[in-house]
């Protein structure tokens, strides 16, 4: 039994679970990680990583088609969908092997199988049952079982006409006509990929704008760009029905008071996620579940002593970096380290890797005003930046929102080339509680895209130089 007793057991090996296990091991805890399918979880195997590999192929393909704009010439430009997908799967496989190596390096016991809480201990934690294997026990147990795609009745993925993200990542064919239901990050990234490779893409969104969690001004710019690229966008839309034929799908949609019958080869559903709370032993416990997500306190504790939850199963935002950060907070809380700060939702960046890219952190202009702030707003366009012009990437904008009274950076919102890399500058600024004065005094290198971050701050206070 001694070999099956641990200081910490983590159920789920995604970006929350494996990071928690590694950090616990670093802090001297005997740790077991139980994963039923793939180390790295959905993010590494069927989400963040493989989609970025696909989008990189689409980006290179797009640039090749515009070689003449850079004074270059190229022969007939084409693509091999099978090889594009194979590269994407290879990237995921490489990183999964890396996660396996890190766990081994840190002496984490990795157990393959489906796990569930079997018996709780009044002192904390308890016993975890593993299908077909001996159970394990620990005074601390972290639930990191992640989430799965939400499925609407009538839109269940069938492996042929209707795809979830999994089928969309390994397409068996290049659809000539594609309908994407949902314009959040997942839906728009797939729309961007297939559109770049030549599909006629229609995006249907029930909200009144695409990328609805983003600043309204950024959403409007994104929609204009997507439509310029050839996408058809239907917002404030309601799905009325779907009919499958021998080789096509007809989807009835109502939008803007008008009915639309859209005939496509494939449909991708990207309408949110639900937490994997089933079959993990929550029944009869004091662990509270709301809308398929486990309720936790600011340090990831559930209603049962010694039981914690992190990542997608613990609620929005459903982001890998949020899960990893929660993992550190949770483990350091368990270890009793001093000054463990709870997660600040206002400092979590969001990134969408479509074309053009979108990134943000903090409050949008509208949300800041709704909270009662008097704001100062700065904007700076890509078309006024030397590096952007040299790159041939002049579409985009940097927008910053400040508290007019204190100079606090309330939010930053970007659309354009490489903004998913640039947003971290504002995240650091928010973490350090930087004011507009400190950002103005910061020296940004030239020529860079990041100079626009500086100019946007200056513009908020009427001091922009290059506009």
Nearest to 235 by CA among 202, 261, 194: 202
Encode the chain in three state secondary structure: CHHHECCEEEECCCCCHHHHHHHHHHCCCCEEEEECCCCCHHHHHHCHHHHHHHHHHHHHHHHHHCHHHHCCCCCCCCCCHHHHHHHHHHHHHHHHHHHHHHHHHCCCEEEECCEEEEEECCCCCEEEEECCEEEEEECEEEECCCEEECCCCCCCCCCCCEECHHHHHCCCCCCCEEEEECCCHHHHHHHHHHHHCCCEEEEECCCCCCCCCCCHHHHHHHHHHHHHCCCEEECCEEEEEEEECCCCEEEEEEECCEEEEEEECEEEECCCEEECCCCCCCCCCCCCEECCEECCCCCCECCCCCEEECHHHHCCCCCHHHHHHHHHHHHHHHHCCCCCCCCCHHHCCEEECCCCCEEEEECCHHHHHHCCCCEEEEEEEHHHCHHHHHHCCCCCEEEEEEECCCCEEEEEEEECCCHHHHHHHHHHHHHCCCEHHHHHHCCCCCCCCCHHHHHHHHHHCCCCCCC
Residue 458: CB atoms within 10 A of its CB come to 19
Do 32 and 6 touch, CB atoms closer than 8 A?
A: yes
Compute φ and ψ for 308, nearest 5 degrees: -130, 160
Residues recognised as catalytic: 446
Compute φ and ψ for 396, nearest 5 degrees: 150, 180
CA 365, CA 453: separation in Å to the nearest integer?
Answer: 17
User: In Å, what is the CA distance from 229 to each residue of 187, 191, 196, 200, 355?
Assistant: 16, 11, 8, 10, 9
CA 321, CA 325: separation in Å to the nearest integer?
Answer: 6
- Those residues whose C-beta lies under 8 Å from the C-beta of residue 299, and which sit 6 or more positions away, are 329, 330, 333, 340, 342
């Amino acid at each position: 039994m001694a070999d099956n007793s641990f200081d910490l057991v983590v159920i789920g090996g995604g970006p929350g679970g494996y990071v928690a296990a590694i950090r616990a091991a670093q802090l001297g805890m005997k740790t077991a990680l139980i994963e039923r399918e793939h180390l790295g979880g959905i993010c590494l195997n069927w989400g963040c990583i493989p989609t970025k590999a696909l989008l990189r192929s689409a980006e290179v393909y797009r640039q090749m088609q515009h070689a003449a704009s850079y004074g270059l010439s190229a022969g007939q430009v084409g693509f091999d969908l099978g090889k594009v997908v194979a590269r994407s799967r290879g990237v995921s496989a490489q990183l999964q092997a890396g996660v396996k190596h890190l766990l081994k390096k840190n002496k984490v016991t990795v157990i393959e199988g489906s796990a569930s809480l079997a018996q709780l201990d009044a002192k904390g934690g308890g016993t975890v049952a593993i299908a077909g294997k001996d159970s394990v026990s620990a005074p601390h147990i972290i639930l990191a079982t992640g989430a799965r795609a939400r499925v609407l009745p009538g839109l269940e993925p069938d492996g042929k006409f209707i795809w979830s993200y999994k089928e969309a990542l390994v397409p068996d064919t290049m659809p000539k006509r594609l309908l994407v239901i949902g314009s959040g990050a997942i839906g728009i990234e797939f729309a961007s990929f297939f559109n770049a490779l030549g599909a006629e893409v229609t995006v249907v969104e029930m909200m009144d704008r695409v990328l609805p969690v983003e600043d309204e001004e950024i959403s409007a710019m994104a929609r204009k760009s997507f439509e310029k690229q050839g996408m058809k966008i239907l917002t404030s839309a309601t799905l009325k029905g779907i009919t499958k034929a021998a080789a096509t799908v007809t989807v009835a949609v109502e939008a803007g008071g008008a009915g639309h019958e859209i005939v496509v080869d494939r449909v991708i559903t990207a309408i949110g996620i639900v937490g994997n709370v089933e079959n993990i032993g929550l029944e009869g416990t004091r662990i509270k579940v709301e809308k398929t997500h486990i309720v936790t306190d600011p340090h990831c504790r559930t209603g049962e002593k010694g039981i914690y939850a992190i990542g997608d199963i613990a609620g929005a935002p459903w982001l890998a970096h949020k899960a990893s950060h929660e993992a550190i907070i949770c483990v350091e809380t368990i270890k009793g380290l001093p000054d463990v700060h709870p997660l600040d939702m206002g400092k979590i960046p969001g990134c969408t890797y479509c074309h053009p890219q979108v990134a943000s952190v903090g409050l949008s202009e509208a949300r800041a005003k709704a909270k009662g702030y008097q704001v100062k707003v700065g904007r700076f366009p890509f078309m006024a930046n030397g590096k952007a012009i040299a790159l041939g990437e002049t579409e985009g904008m940097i927008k910053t929102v400040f508290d007019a009274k204190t100079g606090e950076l309330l939010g930053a919102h970007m659309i354009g080339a490489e903004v998913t890399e640039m947003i971290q500058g504002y995240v650091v600024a928010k973490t350090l509680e930087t004011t507009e004065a400190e950002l103005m005094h910061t020296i940004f290198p030239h020529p860079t895209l990041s100079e626009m971050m500086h100019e946007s701050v200056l513009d908020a206070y009427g001091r922009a130089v290059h506009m």
